[in-house]
Structure 1
Amino acid sequence: MSAPPSPDEGLTAAQLAAKYGLAVSGARPPVREYVRQLWGRRHFILAFSRAKLTAQYSQAKLGQLWQVATPLLNAFVYFMIFGVLLNASRGMSKDVYIPFLVTGVFVFTFTQSSVMSGVRAISGNLGLVRALHFPRASLPISFALQQLQQLLSSMLVLFAVVIGFGSYPDASWLLIVPVLVLQFCFNTGLALMFARAGAKTPDLAQLMPFVMRTWMYASGVMFSIPVFLADKPQWVANVLQWNPAAIYMDLMRFALIDQYGAENLPEHVWAVAGGWALLFAVGGFLYFWKAEERYGRG
């Protein structure tokens, strides 16, 4: 006696999935649901960033001191080459140039490290991506958060340098908070964008140090853009000053250094800073989310 025909006979795989409420494993949820899932993983994101920060220098004898020593050593090298040999400090006294340079190095390193860690956020954690189900944006966000924590832990040294050269805390130092918030949003967007690009093209991690070095030289880390480019067409200086890395460095210098006044800032600087942060935070998030289904699938 033959078995009765199955009620599912003749249905396609898609029809069967719809009938029984099945979904593709790792399918991309709608944006609102994705944001809700990220918020639900907020404790994981924070714990993961802290663990990465702790492990970063665990094999070094000086441990977490390298968080401060690395940007300070970079600042010293740049001072000797650009400040002393190439006279990039033109228009500024030593009491202004040294905190100008150190602030620029610390702030740009925040963006540089966020990008570099973002490039490897997916490709460097494939075991975690393939083993567990979670919103993949958690990884680049946690790496950007790690870099923010690293910057905050080294800010006391930056404050000491600034105070040591005659700029003391006042009301303008309160501007540090909105500057860091805007830069963190911008950095997170960049980390998300490069996480997707790096997941598809792992070799991008080898190229990015050259890109970041070029960006650093074009952002006025070691020199004042308006002063150094005074003999060049005005649009060249404008383009360099309006690039986001230069914007956030200048705002931090304005907040910290007494002698670095508003005349050194481009027009509508806060609007531009907010625009860069919003554009990259939203754009980077959407760009990353659109490839959610493809991460870790080879």
Structure 2
Amino acid sequence: MPQTLTPPAAAQAPVPGASPDPELRALAERHGLTVSGARPSLPEYTRQLWQRRHFITAFATAKVTATYTTAKLGQLWQVLTPLLNAAVYYLIFGVLLGTKNNVPDYIPFLVTGVFVFTFLQNSVLTGTRAISGNLGLVRALHFPRACLPVSFCLAQLQQLLFSMGVLMAILLSFGQLPTWSWLLVVPALTLQFVFNTGLAMVMARLGARTPDLAQLMPFILRTWMYASGVMFSISRILQGRHLPKAVEILLNGNPAAVYIDLMRFALIDSFTHEQLPPHVWAFAGGWALLAGAVGFVYFWKAEERYGRG
């Protein structure tokens, strides 16, 4: 009578990726064992991120210092770069295209827009490379990966605050004396920082999966800049034009334009509330809340996949 052959042991081995045996899972839980690199719950992840706040601050400061250590002018490039951009935009848009003729205090108007948009642009660009450009750190150490995009955005905020001294000097030289409205800079920058950080987290996750995205972002950001009223006044462009209402809402609700308008309103006397879109503070707060919350959750969802593969 023929004997029944038993399948080889390899055929009985568990399939990779299959759920572990319930008894093994219970044994592991009883002894406090967890899956290596497993994503913590959102509240626990937030707590871990807060515990690393000193690391985030120190890392951001180190990045700012290291960025310009090899340059002879050092950290002066934090100011020179946006100023040189502003000079080019002034020559092309202000002088050649005549934009300055329709905007009072055009140089303070332009420089403020350039500084604020540069803060947004650099936050997004560095956020896109936050994971893909730091794989050695991600793979070597265990920490909430959100520390990286947050620290990069904090580094950009530090650079902006360093540059604010030059911006204030330019404003003063063109007759913009300090008023109580200058205090509005604090809530405006706070809201923009939250928005920038949330957007950087979205881009960090996308950039971790598709590193080539970092090459595409400068073109997208340049297009965004042209639609954000950095070199011209959106309210004056819309005057007398019978554009579809949806276009006006998109231009006025553009988050970059909103934060630029708030900074101009705070710092420039001739930029009055009449040039602000309706409910501008609600727009600013809404964009910050939406980008911050969605970006944080979206980034957290892929926490266990960063640095793998």
Pick the aligned partner of 2:156 from 134, 138, 147. Answer: 147
2: CA distance, partners of 1:11 / 1:212? 50
Structure 1 counterpart of 2:251: 240
Q: 1:201 to 1:13 in 2, by over 3 A?
A: farther
Do residues 21 (structure 1) and 38 (structure 2) align?
no
The alignment's TM-score, normalised by the length of structure 1, stands at 0.94
Do the aligned partners of 1:141 and 1:188 also contact (CA within 8 Å) in 2? yes
Do residues 167 (structure 1) and 179 (structure 2) align?
no
Quote how far apart the aligned CAs of 1:59 are.
0.8
Do residues 201 (structure 1) and 210 (structure 2) align?
yes
Query: Amino acid of the residue matched to residue 37 of structure 1?
Result: Q
Q: What is the alpha-carbon root mean square deviation over aligned residues?
A: 1.2
Pick the aligned partner of 1:92 from 85, 103, 106. Answer: 103
Query: Amino acid of the residue matched to residue 233 of structure 1?
Result: L
Do the aligned partners of 2:124 and 2:200 also contact (CA within 8 Å) in 1? yes
> 1:261-294 CA deviation, whole Å, 9 max, x = no partner?
0000000111110000011011100000000010
Structure 2 counterpart of 1:43: 54
Helix, strand or coil: the match of 1:182?
helix
> 1:155-179 CA deviation, whole Å, 9 max, x = no partner?
0100111111111101000000000
Structure 1 counterpart of 2:12: none
Do residues 277 (structure 1) and 288 (structure 2) align?
yes
Structure 2 counterpart of 1:70: 81
Do the aligned partners of 1:88 and 1:228 also contact (CA within 8 Å) in 2? no
Quote how far apart the aligned CAs of 1:90 are.
4.0
Quote how far apart the aligned CAs of 1:227 are.
1.2
2: CA distance, partners of 1:228 / 1:152? 30
Structure 1 counterpart of 2:307: 296
Range moving further from structure 2, 235-244 or 215-224: 235-244
Pick the aligned partner of 2:188 from 162, 179, 188. Answer: 179
> 1:39-72 CA deviation, whole Å, 9 max, x = no partner?
1101100000000000011110000000000000
Quote how far apart the aligned CAs of 1:19 are.
3.4
Range moving further from structure 2, 165-174 or 84-93: 84-93
1: CA distance, partners of 2:244 / 2:259? 20
Structure 2 counterpart of 1:79: 90
2: CA distance, partners of 1:204 / 1:212? 12
Query: Amino acid of the residue matched to residue 274 of structure 1?
Result: G
Helix, strand or coil: the match of 1:89?
helix
Helix, strand or coil: the match of 1:43?
helix
Aligned-pair identity (%): 68
Query: Amino acid of the residue matched to residue 20 of structure 1?
Result: H
Do the aligned partners of 1:41 and 1:138 also contact (CA within 8 Å) in 2? yes
Q: 1:259 to 1:29 in 2, by over 3 A?
A: same
2: CA distance, partners of 1:145 / 1:49? 6
Do the aligned partners of 2:149 and 2:204 also contact (CA within 8 Å) in 1? yes
Do the aligned partners of 1:219 and 1:245 also contact (CA within 8 Å) in 2? yes
Quote how far apart the aligned CAs of 1:13 are.
4.5
Do the aligned partners of 1:90 and 1:228 also contact (CA within 8 Å) in 2? no
1: CA distance, partners of 2:24 / 2:257? 53
Range moving further from structure 2, 282-291 or 20-29: 20-29
Pick the aligned partner of 2:225 from 216, 221, 235. Answer: 216
Do the aligned partners of 2:103 and 2:232 also contact (CA within 8 Å) in 1? no
2: CA distance, partners of 1:277 / 1:11? 44
Aligned residues: 287
Query: Amino acid of the residue matched to residue 283 of structure 2?
Result: V
Radius of gyration: which is bigger?
2
1: CA distance, partners of 2:228 / 2:101? 16
1: CA distance, partners of 2:108 / 2:286? 27
Structure 1 counterpart of 2:114: 105
The alignment's TM-score, normalised by the length of structure 2, stands at 0.90
Query: Amino acid of the residue matched to residue 140 of structure 1?
Result: P
Structure 2 counterpart of 1:133: 142
